[in-house]
Amino acid sequence: MKIPIEVSTFFAEVAPLLDRVEEIAIPVLSKIAKRHNGFFRYRVKSAESLTAKLQKGEIKQPLYECNDIFAGTIVVPSRTNFPHVEAEINEKFSVREVIRNRLKKPTHFDYDDVHFIISLKPENFETEALLHKLQLELQLKTLLQYAIAESTHDVLYKGSKQTSRQIRLAAQLRALLEMAEGLMNRLELADEILDFEEDKVLELRTEIGEFIKETWDSIDLPSDMRRTAITIEKYLSLANITFHDFTAKIAKNEQYFQMLSLRSVEPVTAILAVLIKISGQNLINRAKKRKIFFIIPSEAEELLPALSKIPPELRVDFSLSNCAESVSSGNFVPNVSDLKTTSKIPIPKLAEQKR
């Protein structure tokens, strides 16, 4: 498309302003998204797109009336994040308009993302007065909304051909999206709204997770509680003790309780040490039989001597050299020379980077 010289000149003149917006606003919006486990994307409107918009005849002064010359999107996991994100947007920016809930009929499934028209707050952004008048468009989407929008946008809005079937299919996708998001937002209420017999294994893992959260400070908790609970469930099996009996013994034995009170030792290792104290050689014998290997941090072993009972053959070997035993036992790990011949990056350089 041939771009009018007036539009090209306009873009050349506002380019420094848009560069300043990118410089000062993008970091703030990116941090808001990241704080809510999301991400931020943005674009500057193209000259062709602006020309097409101006040709509709609804805008007199594009710099102040065209609110999407600069447009960004904050994408977060679900709608439950929206209120917190909106609060931060209102705190950091001047919100001129919020557009939401476009759907007027329950039978319609049209475009319904949340839009903000914002500008820079003078008290938060010390910059040129002209920038404070510039309107920015900010969309707030869930991950599912973003995925569907990205996959259908070009076909529905920029294609040379539009059919009723395409529009209908897009509406069906939005209907499915609304159903999926509705279910996702109700995950925490599943116990109240579903009549379903609970799996005993999942109940046990939930109990283990709750025990860990009650025993350790939140800052010391592992991020993957599910995997932690599964590992402890395995250790309980090795010790041949139920979780109920394990917690009962801790409640009665001050020494066990003190072993779990060491904040410098993470939960899995501390619980392993207590189980070794409780079951003794039985846990180790079962681990040998099942070929279970343990990570024994040296600093934890100093604080919890029970861990020293784990023999070398049951400890994870982090060395890159002594692999002969692994090969003979069937647990093959390539030796260093093998790695050097198959890897494009020399092993010494990898080690150097890690240090």
**pLDDT of res. 157:** 53
Instruction: Check residue 41 and give its pLDDT.
Output: 94
Beta bridge partners of 141: 75
* pLDDT at residue number 111: 53
292: left (phi over 0), alpha (psi -120 to 50) or beta: beta
pTM, full prediction: 0.55
All domains in the chain, ordered by first residue: 5-187 (3.30.460.10), 200-316 (no CATH)
Site of tokens 């009170």: 261
Tokens matching residue 213: 């959260």
**Rounded CA gap, 256 and 137, in Å?**
58
- Positions of the chain with pLDDT under 70: 1, 101-112, 152-162, 184-198, 321-355
| Cα–Cα–Cα angle for 145, 149, 153, rounded to 5 degrees | 170
The tokens for 308 are 């020293």
Alpha-carbon span 343 to 338, nearest angstrom: 8
So what's the pLDDT on residue 108?
A: 58
Residue 352's pLDDT is what? 37
Q: Are 170 and 109 in contact (CB under 8 A)?
A: no
Which pLDDT score is estimated for 152?
A: 66
**Nearest to 244, CA basis, from 285, 200, 191:** 200
**CB neighbours of residue 196 within 10 Å:** 8
